[in-house]
Amino acid sequence: MPRQSQQLHPHREPVTPLDAATVLLLRDAPAPDGTTRLEVLMTRRSDKASFVPGAYVFPGGGIEAQDGDAATHALADQRPAQNAARLTDAMAAIRESFEELGVLLARRADGRWADAADIAAIARQLPPGTTFAAECAARGLRLAADSIYWLAHWTADRNLPKRFAVPFLVARMPEGQEPVADESEQFEPVWVSPADALARHEAGQFFMIFPTIRTLQRLAQFADVQAVLAAVAHEQPLWVSSPRSGFVNGTRAPHMEHEPPYGELALVCPDGQVAHTLDWQSETPVPLLKNLQRLTAPNPGVMTGPGTNSYLVGDPGTGYIAIDPGPADTAHLERLWRAAGGNIRMIVCTHSHPDHSPGAAPLQAMVLAHGRAKPPILGLPSQPTARAHSQFTPDRALQNDELLTLAGQGMDGKITHTLQVIHTPGHAANHLCLLLREDGLLFSGDHILNGSTTVIDPPDGNMADYLDSLDRLDRLCAEHGVEFILPAHGYVLGEARTAIARLKAHRLAREAKVLAAMQAQPEGSMEDWVRLAYDDVPERIWPVAQRSLLAHIERIRMLEPGND
């Protein structure tokens, strides 16, 4: 973890979330085209509600003591996989759907759902000392917790003054029942398809909050109720999320864990403050920590994403190490120089590709011209396998595991920033990564990217080396407690080891598709194989994908019996 002393913002402890539960009541309904479609029951919250007033929501509310009571649990039917916590969630969802909408998820002894007479006989708001489950039992009903499944789990954004931790449950709407809102907390019950709800929200007619929107987006992928229930039958949530928010175009924008900005928000604002701007721009440095700034070169494109990230590690008391100065763009290099106050002690290139290293020499000259000591250009020289535009000779070649140290006097005394050099061939033969040891940060160059996979282009690129380097990075992340990866293109990645494991699994899955394509068409051409192995990427990417295809083929053939 980064040192607390390097965090940009004073720590602010998030509010402890309250336990609640919500249930998505589902039905299959006639569609305009004569088929059936999935619909979900939603209601509008009171305009005077203390939490998301006026929003369209699924029925639910806070978990009460009665929901977790063993005597209450004994009055419910349950599946063997529903432990006490899951049963408590289901009981809260059943109770809340009755109190808010008059929907009674309970059955008679013969299996029939509760009917209108049962619903009318039970008060929505019971007097003290009486529990909802006991009232149902008095009518000969057992609560149908066994019909409720775990769809997802949301914990509210850490910056909110009032937070809830909420399992989102799903159940089929009982036959013969009609929802009737309580007209105090909930209004206007409506059956709506996920797609229609999302379209109405986009049009400004159906206000919903982020977890509701994201849940409906996932739900829209299912054709009917049975498909949803089949997907959750394994008793595990389809997703678990506690969103983080930053600013995009000046507006607060929440993001889930699988979305590219999430790791960066976790690094810059670990306690969830909404204080970080996510817009890509090249004009000003982006502070990530007190000792870490990012400047993105103005070279966006298919291969570079938003542009090449140049990083400055250090502070005014220690001076700075510039990582990947990028292309020889004078304006970008001047911004890099100014962000360091001219005090650049070293320039390190992760590899020799033309979007990473050409800026090194002019940046060095710029520092020297302003009266500072000449910062050495460090890295690994390009190999004979490198293409002509990727020739690079550093002032000094770095050694694997070498330590580059900045030391100086900070506000709290002596401070150091130490980068460990890690040779990681694969994307390029001279590729290296850097580990900021005091803060557990990995600068990954092009070896690991956010939002895409790097191209492995033989002969300088090698897939076997690439996968071996991933394994080495994983071991180092485990050894040094690395949680964040800072790539040369894209946002900061969080959960470093998970990201590495996911990337390796993706590469091996792609290799399996390459092998299958080769076996399906043993006399096929590269064009034939890329069409089969990369059928899930746009055709315009296939010419670039052929480079990595060749790298996979070389590794496959290397692994064939009889080859060393």
pLDDT single digits (tens) 46-73: 887 777 888 999 999 999 999 999 999 9
DSSP 47: T
Structure tokens belonging to residue 11: 């720590």
How is the chain split into domains, by residue range? 18-242, 243-279, 284-497, 507-559
Residues 248-260: tens digit of each pLDDT: 999 999 999 999 9
Residues 467-491: tens digit of each pLDDT: 999 999 999 999 999 999 999 999 9
Whether 491 and 311 have beta carbons less than 8 Å apart is answered as: no
CB-count burial class (<10 Å; 0-12, 13-18, 19+) for 238: middle
Give the whole-angstrom CA distance, residue 394 versus residue 255.
Answer: 40
Give the whole-angstrom CA distance, residue 71 versus residue 60.
Answer: 22
Statement: residue 315 has pLDDT above 90: yes
Give the whole-angstrom CA distance, residue 246 versus residue 131.
Answer: 43
Residues 134-148: tens digit of each pLDDT: 999 999 999 999 999
Give the whole-angstrom CA distance, residue 564 versus residue 561.
Answer: 8
Q: In CATH, what class is 284-497?
A: alpha beta
pLDDT band at 239 (very low <50, low <70, confident <90, very high): very high
Give the whole-angstrom CA distance, residue 276 versus residue 442.
Answer: 21
When pLDDT is averaged across residues 505-516 and rounded to a whole number, the result is 96
Query: What pLDDT sits at residue 434?
Result: 98
When pLDDT is averaged across residues 512-539 and rounded to a whole number, the result is 95
Q: How many residues does the chain have?
A: 564
Statement: residue 262 has pLDDT above 90: yes
Query: What pLDDT sits at residue 291?
Result: 96
Give the whole-angstrom CA distance, residue 82 versus residue 146.
Answer: 8
Percent of the chain's residues with pLDDT above 90: 89
pLDDT band at 169 (very low <50, low <70, confident <90, very high): very high
Radius of gyration of the chain (CA): 29
Whether 178 and 32 have beta carbons less than 8 Å apart is answered as: no
Q: Which fold has domain 18-242?
A: Nucleoside Triphosphate Pyrophosphohydrolase (3.90.79)
Query: What pLDDT sits at residue 31?
Result: 83
φ, ψ for residue 521 (rounded to 5)? -135, 75
Q: Which residues, other chains included, contact 461 with Cβ-Cβ below 8 Å and sequence gap of 6+? A: 426, 427, 428, 429, 455, 547, 551
Statement: residue 564 has pLDDT above 70: no
Query: What pLDDT sits at residue 188?
Result: 87
**Taking Cα atoms as reference points, which of 522, 529, 524 lies closest to residue 546?**
529
Tell me the average pLDDT of the chain: 94
Query: What pLDDT sits at residue 454?
Result: 95
Cβ atoms < 10 Å from Cβ of 217 = 13
Please state the pTM of the whole predicted model. 0.92
Under the phi-then-psi rule, with left for phi > 0, alpha for psi from -120 to 50, and beta for the rest, what region is 187? beta
Whether 296 and 280 have beta carbons less than 8 Å apart is answered as: yes
pLDDT band at 125 (very low <50, low <70, confident <90, very high): confident
φ, ψ for residue 432 (rounded to 5)? -140, 155
Q: Which residues, other chains included, contact 253 with Cβ-Cβ below 8 Å and sequence gap of 6+? A: 245, 246, 247, 278
Statement: residue 1 has pLDDT above 90: no
Statement: residue 548 has pLDDT above 70: yes
Structure tokens belonging to residue 229: 């229930």
When pLDDT is averaged across residues 203-217 and rounded to a whole number, the result is 95
DSSP reduced 3-state for 343? coil
Whether 445 and 453 have beta carbons less than 8 Å apart is answered as: no
pLDDT band at 376 (very low <50, low <70, confident <90, very high): very high
Higher pLDDT residue, 468 or 45? 468
Query: What pLDDT sits at residue 562?
Result: 66
Higher pLDDT residue, 424 or 161? 424
Give the whole-angstrom CA distance, residue 472 versus residue 167.
Answer: 38
Whether 99 and 125 have beta carbons less than 8 Å apart is answered as: yes
Kind plus residue range of the DSSP H or E element containing 502:
helix 496-520
Statement: residue 190 has pLDDT above 90: yes
The angle at the Cα of 323, spanning 318 to 325, to the nearest 5 degrees, equals 120
Structure tokens belonging to residue 228: 């949803």
Statement: residue 98 has pLDDT above 90: yes
